[in-house]
């Protein structure tokens, strides 16, 4: 009986050793397997974020002007009268707004101005989604060139409508025309809302943004 028990113990020990070796071999196999192809790719230096599959792109949403090019210089006629210009708002047009757009908001901002929040030169909102351009001079409320329903806010000059650049002498300032595609037909802001409030509402709810930057100095 003792011999049989010893033989059985030896057999059991051998089986356990074989199972342990098999388990180690299987674990090594999993450790050496390549990472699944769905694993997120590491970004290279200087590379932007990789869009997630199915994420809608608004890269084609673009703003342009026949009066100047992006990165160019603003013409004298768009400059404020206080600096010898004509205060004529530029002609603007845009294309390919994102799906679901119900209205647009347009803001012109100078972040280089000495004021704490920069300087707001033009605020327009509730531009109907069917509109894709604004003619030159639309920022002058007396000309009534704005599309029906669009509202012009008060600039930091204290007046409603477009107020052209008039920076202090020295380094040229950058002027950002930003167009927001919004999912609502009406931006729910008070009639006396400041440019900062309107910009905050627009930025928080925008489906897409298009931008045009020009410079001016004297």
For every residue of 7-52, DSSP letters joined together read HHHHHHHHHHHHHHHHHHHHHHHHHTSPPPTTSPPPPPTT--PPPP
Q: How many structural domains does the chain have?
A: 1
Question: Whole-angstrom Cα distance, residue 105 to residue 126?
Answer: 6
Sheet holding 92-95, edge to edge: 62-64, 92-95, 133-134
Asked if residue 2 has pLDDT above 50, the reply is no
DSSP string, 185-203: SS----TT--HHHHHHHHH
CB 134 within 8 A of CB 214: no
The pLDDT of residue 59 is 59
- Residues 59, 147: Cα–Cα separation, whole Å: 26
The whole-angstrom separation of Cα 154 and Cα 141 is: 11
Q: Is residue 46 part of a domain?
A: no
User: Quick check: is 82 in a domain?
Assistant: yes
List the strands of the sheet with 103-110, edge to edge. 151-152, 119-128, 103-110, 173-182, 208-216
Q: Answer yes or no: is pLDDT of 43 > 50.
A: no
Q: For 92-109, how does the pLDDT look when each residue is reduced to its tens digit (9 = 90+)?
A: 999 999 999 999 999 999
- Indicate whether 24 belongs to any domain: no
Mean pLDDT of 72-95: 95
Average the pLDDT over 149-175 and give the result. 95
Q: For residue 79, give the 3-state DSSP assignment.
A: coil
Mean pLDDT of 175-180: 97
Q: Is residue 126 domain-resident?
A: yes
Residue 182 C-alpha from the chain's centroid: 12
In a domain, 51, yes or no: no
Mean pLDDT over each residue of the chain, to the nearest integer: 80
- The reply to whether 164 falls in a domain is yes
What are the pLDDT digits (tens) for 57-72? 445 999 999 999 999 9
Instruction: Say if 47 falls within a structural domain.
Output: no
Domain residue limits at 157: 62-216
Comparing 5-9, 47-51, 142-146, the range with the smallest average pLDDT is: 47-51
pLDDT at 21: 43
Q: How confident is the model at residue 188 (pLDDT cuts 50, 70, 90)?
A: confident
Residue 44's pLDDT is: 40
d(CA 124, CA 127): 7
For residue 58, count other CB atoms closer than 10 A to its CB: 18
| 193-208 per-position pLDDT tens digit | 999 999 999 999 999 9
For residue 182, give the CATH number of its domain.
Answer: 3.90.280.10
What pTM does this model have?
Answer: 0.72
Report if residue 30 sits inside a domain: no
């Amino acid at each position: 009986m003792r011999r049989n028990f010893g033989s059985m113990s030896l057999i059991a020990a051998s089986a356990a050793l074989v199972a342990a070796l098999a388990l180690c071999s299987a674990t090594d196999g999993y450790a050496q397997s390549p990472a699944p192809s769905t694993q997120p790719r590491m970004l290279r230096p200087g590379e932007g974020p990789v869009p997630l599959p199915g994420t809608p792109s608004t890269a084609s949403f673009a703003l342009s002007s026949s009066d100047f090019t992006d990165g160019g210089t603003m013409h004298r006629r768009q400059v404020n009268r206080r600096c010898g210009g004509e205060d004529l708002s530029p002609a603007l047009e845009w294309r390919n707004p994102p799906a679901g757009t119900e209205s647009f908001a347009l803001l012109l901002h100078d972040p280089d101005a000495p004021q704490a929040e920069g300087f707001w030169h033009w605020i327009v909102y509730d531009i109907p989604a069917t509109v894709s351009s604004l003619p030159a001079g639309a920022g002058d409320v007396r000309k009534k060139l704005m599309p029906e329903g669009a509202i012009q806010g008060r600039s930091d000059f204290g007046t409603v409508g477009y107020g052209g650049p008039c920076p202090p002498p020295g380094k040229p300032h950058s002027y950002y025309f930003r167009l927001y595609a919004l999912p609502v037909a009406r931006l729910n802001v008070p009639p006396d809302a400041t440019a900062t409030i309107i910009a905050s509402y627009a930025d928080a709810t925008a489906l897409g943004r298009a931008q045009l930057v020009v410079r001016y100095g004297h």
